[in-house]
Amino acid sequence: MLLMAVTAAFGQEAKVKRVEPCPMDLSASKYQRFDLNGKACALVRVEVLANDVQFSGSVVGEVEHRTGEYWVYMEGGSKMLRISSGTFLPVMIDFREYLIEALMPNCTYVVTLSLHTAAPAPASAGMNYLLMTVTPANARVTVDGKEREVRNGSVKVLLRNGTYLYHVEAPGYLPEDGQVMVNNARAERAVSLRSNKGTLSVDAATPGTEIHINGERVGAGSWRGELLPDTYLVEGRLPGYRNAEQVVTVTSGQTAAVTLPALRPITGSLNVDYEPVGSSITIDGAARGTTPAVIDNLLVGTHSVTIAADGHTPQTLTATISESEMATLTGSLTKAATNLEPFLDQTTDKVGYKDENGNIVIPAKYDNADEFSEGLARVQINGKYGFIDQTDKLVIPAKYDDATSFSEGLAAVKINGKWGFIDKTDKLVIPAKYDDGVWFSEGLARVKINGKRGFIDKTDKLVIPAKYDEAWSFSEGLARVKINGKWGVIDKTDKLVIPAKYDFVREFKNGKAEVELNSRWFYIDKNGNEVK
């Protein structure tokens, strides 16, 4: 309370005669007022025969001065009220001292004060500072019923010595009331408001469902976050499906959970009538049969449709599906060019492809390019290697440091200095772990490990140990190998069927191979006998 020295300045002191609820008084609900969070207030009727009375605490809006009393609206949950005037000493009401734990919304209370002449006391001019820090930094602070300036979450107020009531509030937070004493020492107080928000958790039965709250997209599949207490419209949206929605109420400090049911698809049909008959149909990357065909239950919207057939150039089209209607695609594939060969454009130093008639089918745009093998050709783009088909579609991105042509369904590729093998879907079926690697031939591929050559099968099993100085691919069941500077021939069991005595051995064809011995070239059969 204020020092006794201040009594002379007031002349009167107020005494509390009554503090109690008035359950039969419906004024609070009849003449409602709401706080910043939209919650109904309590009404305190203060009976006092004085003018210019001030009130501080969790006061909401203007105080109404009526005959013989003041109507003071306060936030629900308030516990204290400070009453002051220029004619009497301030009074601090702590409702808990009158068996009222906290003011209830829409309830009316009465406080009766009586005024008496105060005895004079020695004068004093004692004053000091109240320093407050508040969280959040944008909180609104009142001290002694007056709003105070908040700078970056700090409040500084010079006050006369005494006890003061403060109130701190901010949107989205529970307000806090308290009292602090200012005397000959500086007073400090830190206030951190507790969140007034609740938690909403949303899950969707249909994968990828876009979640909207009150019309705003917040996530997909699932979402969890804090919201102010209120009622919200939760919607699930997905192109091609009907929306699902639920209304949910979020309560302060509580978690509300919503599960959006499976969305109902909106569908139509597609008639694909393309020649030649039996052409494959792929819709959005999924195989959907062969032509001609009527495909039902397609989601409304646009779809990518690819039609392909051997010996023909595939076509990719866009089909727009409408609800309960049938769209139609008709036409014929054109025959694809065959026997494409790479050619070098002398002007640009780029490589393209021509057909057997010399017509340019694929423009000269690649840094390097090989012949087609098993329907694909290795090409170089900006120093990296990938693969194209005969329609010039880059079916395997140019991302490898080096590569070989496809053979027996696999191609060797170089990744970060090591070699592995991919299939035609660009799947790395054999890890990139070898120092070198070449194409598969007769089920085996030559690899290099620690400077030596051996052979693996398509399961990555090392069927012939890496022990040779050099080796070439298998042909007619035999492979040439180099041992101590000389060349011989092994079979698939790693048996040396022809001794390593030759200066060089060429590939076996039609049962014989050309060899060099002491600068003389001649042919041998698979038994090592010289033949013509």
**Residue 390: per-residue pLDDT:** 87
**Residue 8: per-residue pLDDT:** 42
Q: Using omega within 30 degrees of 0 as the cis cutoff, is the peptide bond preceding 136 cis?
A: yes
Does 438 fall in a domain? yes
Domain match, 378 and 482 both = yes
Tell me the C-alpha distance between 234 and 210, whole Å: 10
Last residue of one domain, picked from the residues 117, 147, 167: 117
Domain match, 113 and 178 both = no
Tell me the C-alpha distance between 31 and 316, whole Å: 70
> Which tens digits make up the pLDDT trace of 221-254?
999 999 989 999 999 999 999 999 999 999 988 9
Domain match, 418 and 465 both = yes
Domain match, 205 and 302 both = no
Does 140 fall in a domain? yes
**Residue 305: per-residue pLDDT:** 96
Q: Please report, as a single letter, which amino acid is at residue 456.
A: I
Domain match, 372 and 476 both = yes
Name the nearest CA neighbour of 274 among 338, 322, 334, 324: 334
Domain match, 318 and 442 both = no
Tell me the C-alpha distance between 211 and 234, whole Å: 7
Domain match, 352 and 461 both = yes
Domain match, 420 and 442 both = yes
From the number of C-beta atoms within 10 Å of its C-beta (0-12, 13-18, 19+), residue 4 rates as middle
Q: Please report, as a single letter, which amino acid is at residue 506.
A: R
Does 122 fall in a domain? no
DSSP assignment letter at 355: -
- Which CATH number belongs to the domain containing residue 393 in this structure? 2.140.10.30
Question: Are the C-beta atoms of 260 and 247 separated by less than 8 Å?
Answer: no
- Which CATH number belongs to the domain containing residue 132 in this structure? 2.60.40.10
Domain match, 232 and 276 both = no
Domain match, 104 and 165 both = no
Report the 10 Å Cβ neighbour count for 39.
16
- Neighbour order of strands in the sheet with 452-456: 436-441, 444-449, 452-456, 462-468
Does 376 fall in a domain? yes
pTM of the model: 0.43
Name the nearest CA neighbour of 263 among 246, 244, 239: 244
Kindly state the greatest CA–CA separation across the chain.
141
Per-residue burial over 54-68, b = 16 or more CB atoms within 10 Å of its CB, e = otherwise: bbbbbbbeebeeeee
Name the nearest CA neighbour of 430 among 443, 445, 441, 420: 420
**Residue 36: per-residue pLDDT:** 86
**Residue 120: per-residue pLDDT:** 55
**Residue 86: per-residue pLDDT:** 81
Tell me the C-alpha distance between 289 and 278, whole Å: 9
**Residue 252: per-residue pLDDT:** 87
> Which tens digits make up the pLDDT trace of 487-513?
999 999 999 999 999 999 999 999 999
Does 471 fall in a domain? yes
Domain of 97?
A: 4-117
> Which tens digits make up the pLDDT trace of 416-463?
999 999 999 999 999 999 999 999 999 999 999 999 999 999 999 999
**Residue 404: per-residue pLDDT:** 96
Q: In the chain, how many domains are there?
A: 5
Q: Please report, as a single letter, which amino acid is at residue 137.
A: A
**Residue 384: per-residue pLDDT:** 98
Last residue of one domain, picked from the residues 175, 192, 209: 192
Does 104 fall in a domain? yes
| Tens digits of pLDDT across the chain (532 residues) | 333 434 444 567 789 999 999 999 999 999 999 988 889 999 999 999 888 899 988 899 999 999 889 999 999 999 999 998 888 888 889 999 999 999 999 999 999 999 887 555 444 447 899 999 999 999 999 998 899 999 999 999 999 888 899 999 998 888 999 999 988 788 999 999 988 889 999 999 999 999 999 999 999 999 999 998 999 999 999 999 999 999 999 998 899 999 999 999 999 999 999 999 999 999 998 999 999 999 999 999 999 999 999 878 788 999 999 999 999 999 999 887 778 999 999 999 999 999 888 889 999 999 999 999 998 999 999 999 999 998 899 999 999 999 999 999 999 999 999 999 999 999 999 999 999 999 999 999 999 999 999 999 999 999 999 999 999 999 999 999 999 999 999 999 999 999 999 999 999 999 999 999 999 999 999 999 999 8
Last residue of one domain, picked from the residues 226, 242, 260: 260
Domain match, 145 and 187 both = yes
Domain match, 42 and 160 both = no
19 is written with which tokens?
């503090």
